[in-house]
Structure 1
């Protein structure tokens, strides 16, 4: 096994500065001066709509770039507590030298998104994780592309569209987007300009609240150029995703189908009449609480703990911890797990009776 020299030096330096990692000292000089941590500085702030904020981010040297459609975990400290959320870059695919563009919609219950909309400023430094996710363009570009998005789900498919335009992809592209009103389309002017400049782009904007043609119906897919050979990419809220998938299944469509959900679907409830009981013990924190049936992450936060978490949807795996004993239920699938000393995701698992967890 070989060890690279910079990593060896870093390990020696961190050992000498124990008990704190070297980055804890470097950030006192400059938050962007890091040895291991990936961070980003906010270099631009815009508000394209009343509900959104657009951030330009310049990552530190550890950044490895992103593929169109992937997401990143962004962390920000609010009132002394670090919070993590997942957002998809809207800019075209970049290498390690590229900046990031995030357009974030502040939802009514969006604690971090609302904070960023109201308080993000040029010069702010945020935490960042490397891009991840399988919702990406195929390496072999298909003969036609259909993008369907709703609300904040526009960002990953816009990244794909921008990437294809940069590559001078000349095959048919259909871009369907659903928003409450025309003013809620954060990239309305750019999309119109792209469609006007590129004859192969068919732009179809649908509005669900003002004078428009409302929510998705199969008719919105009519007369799409190259549709039989197209691949579909769908991203948005559950109602849109479910409507498109139902149409896909009932009509026997054969196009290759890719999807990415931006909100958590309603969990499956197993035996709703069963009583909730037991004690949830957080071993590392030496705390315990009476099980109230919610996810372990929610109960940990109510107990005053702050375990690392990201998407809260079960896709980013940032909130894993070791379950030492007890039974847990996956709230998405209803499956139970009784295995001891196993890694579980706190955001999508709830205790069933007594559970001990390393948090």
Structure 2
């Protein structure tokens, strides 16, 4: 019966007509309505979302894709829920980054009643079952949200292992969950929270991550499973130290900002066959080159997680900007945001 109604609704999906009556009335689309708004710091906003019935919940640490319409165009970005695993609502804390179109829009215009599109939760950065005997969480800046979800979940489950959170920020004023984190540490003997501030003297630690910070915050880190999310400099420093100590298999990571290798073979041209456009290869990501050519390909995270920008490469060679690997197979789907052209490349775009 549903298929019959959808066939009668052509040329648009049935949900397109339903949203004209009620944006939260859907048959297949997953959406969410903002039901609470807080601005815990000067540059961040915390949104509580009520999803439609299709929502299947999230595992602590996973991310979702949020879509908002800005100037008539829908833009999608990835955010990690900060709430306890299995909750009926979704809590997102979004920091307004310089040049961040969606984050800045949500910071300025996020209000009760706003309806956004929503994906099911995804990602392998998540607490495993059964839970590890001990857990170390390391975060910086916006990376606090997925590890906070882990911490809240472990506390809610009355986890009996030791949990340490080491969080990096400029100062106390830049930590969106400061009071809650202090309370969790005060109320639970097995929870330890350590703040490291790079531009303030009042933290537990001062400066950037290094061996002395790790040893001071978590002396038993070698026995713990470590979950890390933060900016590229923090991610790189932690990875290097864990590699040097032979602890790579105990480190689990989630990048919320791309850490891309440079493409130094910037010659040839990039042809967008479906659009009839051909440009000189600049060496930047193919997503950036498409946008510079006036095209508007779909994209989500811009960092190789969500696969929204996947497009078929009909010919040519590309370099993966994260790994440096080359791919010259024809008629192959590639992610535009993390690939750059090596010589002449043709895309079905």
Give the TM-score category using the shorter length.
over 0.9
SS in 1 for 2:85: coil
Name which of structure 1's ranges 177-186 and 222-231 shifts more when overlaid on structure 2.
222-231
Pairs within 5 Å for 1:65-104: 65-94=57-86, 98-104=88-94
Kindly provide the CA deviation profile for residues 27-59 of structure 1, in whole angstroms up to 9, marking residues without a partner as x.
Answer: 111111111111111111110000101001111
For 2:268, the equivalent position in structure 1 comes to: 277
Verify the 8 A CA contact 2:239 2:248 in the aligned structure 1. no
For 2:283, the equivalent position in structure 1 comes to: 293
**Which whole-Å CA distance do the structure 2 matches of 1:61 and 1:313 have between them?**
29
Match of 2:20 among 19, 28, 47: 28
TM-score normalised by L of structure 1: 0.91
Match of 2:215 among 206, 222, 225: 222
In structure 1, stretches of 5+ residues that fail to align are 1-8
TM-score normalised by L of structure 2: 0.93
Name which of structure 1's ranges 313-322 and 252-261 shifts more when overlaid on structure 2.
252-261
Q: Residues 342 and 48 from structure 1, CA distance in 2 versus in 1: closer, same or farther, beyond 3 angstroms?
A: same
Pairs within 5 Å for 1:244-259: 244-253=238-247, 256-259=250-253
Verify the 8 A CA contact 1:171 1:200 in the aligned structure 2. yes
Verify the 8 A CA contact 2:266 2:282 in the aligned structure 1. no
For 1:265, the equivalent position in structure 2 comes to: 259
Query: What's the offset of the Cα at 1:226?
Result: 5.0
Match of 1:196 among 186, 209, 222: 186
Query: What's the offset of the Cα at 1:252?
Result: 3.4
Pairs within 5 Å for 1:1-359: 9-94=1-86, 98-211=88-201, 212=203, 213-222=206-215, 224=218, 227-253=221-247, 256-269=250-263, 272=264, 274=265, 276-283=267-274, 285-359=275-349
Aligned length: 345
Query: What's the offset of the Cα at 1:108?
Result: 1.3
**Which whole-Å CA distance do the structure 1 matches of 2:266 and 2:80 have between them?**
39
SS in 1 for 2:241: helix
Q: Residues 289 and 222 from structure 1, CA distance in 2 versus in 1: closer, same or farther, beyond 3 angstroms?
A: closer
Q: Residues 37 and 287 from structure 1, CA distance in 2 versus in 1: closer, same or farther, beyond 3 angstroms?
A: farther
Q: Residues 159 and 279 from structure 1, CA distance in 2 versus in 1: closer, same or farther, beyond 3 angstroms?
A: closer
Q: Residues 35 and 197 from structure 1, CA distance in 2 versus in 1: closer, same or farther, beyond 3 angstroms?
A: same
Verify the 8 A CA contact 2:320 2:339 in the aligned structure 1. yes
Verify the 8 A CA contact 1:89 1:159 in the aligned structure 2. yes
SS in 1 for 2:138: strand
